[in-house]
Amino acid sequence: MRTIHVVTHPEATHHVDGLVGGWFDSELTERGVRQAGAIADVLADRLGAAPEVYSSDLRRARRTAEIVAGRLGADLTIDAGLREKSYGEAGGKPQAWLDARFVPPPRDGERLRHDEGVAGAETQLDLAVRAYAAMERVLASAAEEQVIVTHGGTATYLVAAWIGMPLDAAGRVHFRVSSGGISLLREDDRYHSRQLTRLDETGHLDGW
């Protein structure tokens, strides 16, 4: 049975500073480092020896993955396809700056290619294509236990890719996850069906 634990990085400096994340390369806070340790402890209790660990190359995710991989005795593969969506010139600016300029997608019609009104930003299609391709690279391995450390926006498209959702349909879906959350994907050996077994587990963050 293949299992994939999708981890969203915990608290980072852009969270506490009220800044837009995206490709802005923020660090984990001290609290975020402790939360990453709690994530690593949970995964160590559940996984066998040396599962595969994949991570976004952005520092907040990579640091989380380094803590997890160190605790599990696992090799770490860095994949820039697992990055958060780029918010272009909004990255690193106050969240209020982006909120004042952001153009929400329409209820009907084209959503993935929608221009959100911020120069240099990726579309949701750009992000989805990246995430789908990254999931393909993870699944090319025959490993039965894998961990992916990523970002909140990217996690939706990783789950969509896992369950085989057509790319065009992914513009209407959102799997809401928290910073430091763990989601479990599972494929059974008999029917080879893919499950979203658990979405956004956060109990390990209690007290942090």
Q: How confident is the model at residue 37 (pLDDT cuts 50, 70, 90)?
A: very high
d(CA 84, CA 130): 10
84 vs 50, residue with greater confidence: 84
Arithmetic mean of pLDDT, 154-160: 98
d(CA 18, CA 34): 20
pLDDT tens for residues 58-76?
A: 999 999 999 999 999 999 9
pLDDT at 208: 87
Residue 84 is among the residues annotated as catalytic for this protein: yes
2-205 is a CATH 3.40.50.1240 domain: yes
Residue 9 is among the residues annotated as catalytic for this protein: yes
Catalytic entry in 5, 11, 15, 84: 84
Which residues belong to the annotated binding site?
60, 84-87
Q: Name the strand (E) or helix (H) holding 3.
A: strand 2-8
pLDDT at 50: 77
Which residues belong to the annotated binding site for substrate?
60, 84-87
- Give me the sign of the Cα torsion angle 60, 64, 66, 69: negative
Above pLDDT 90, what percent of the chain? 97
Half-sphere exposure for 80 (CA within 13 Å, toward CB): 3
pLDDT at 82: 98
Model pTM score: 0.97
Q: How confident is the model at residue 49 (pLDDT cuts 50, 70, 90)?
A: confident
Instruction: Check pLDDT > 90 for residue 102.
Output: yes
Arithmetic mean of pLDDT, 12-31: 98
Q: How confident is the model at residue 207 (pLDDT cuts 50, 70, 90)?
A: confident
Q: For residue 121, what are its two tokens? A: 């930003």
pLDDT at 70: 96
Q: For residue 70, what are its two tokens? A: 């160190």
Catalytic entry in 5, 9, 14, 151: 9
Arithmetic mean of pLDDT, 173-192: 96
189 vs 123, residue with greater confidence: 123
d(CA 23, CA 63): 15
Mean pLDDT over the full length of the chain = 97
